[in-house]
Amino acid sequence: MTDLTVTVYSTPNCQQCKATYRHLDKLEIGYTIVDLSAPENAELLTWITDDLGYDAAPVVVVDQDPDNHWSKYRPDRITRLAAAAA
């Protein structure tokens, strides 16, 4: 797998977040988790809701392409990401 920088902005006990992790793991895509419930990440909520326009976790951002991001569990997007990185 090529070097992707994938960040998953999530919250604890989020089932769609867990499904996203499982799918990324299955396709061997590395990622970093950012817990949106942590006080030090409060400013990220404004960025996610106001700038990106999302209101549900997880929010997945592929750092090599600032326009490549999505919200909620999206197996289609994860599979396309893996194919593009192969």
- Digits of tens for pLDDT over the chain (86 positions)? 557 789 999 999 999 999 999 999 999 999 999 999 999 999 998 899 999 999 999 999 998 677 899 999 999 999 999 988 77
Please tell me the predicted confidence (pLDDT) of residue 2.
Answer: 56
Contacts 24+ apart (CB under 8 A), 16-19: 16/56, 16/57, 16/58, 16/72, 16/73, 17/57, 17/58, 17/73, 19/73, 19/75
Contact 25, 65 (CB under 8 A): no
Q: Which domains does the chain have, with CATH numbers?
A: 6-85 (3.40.30.10)
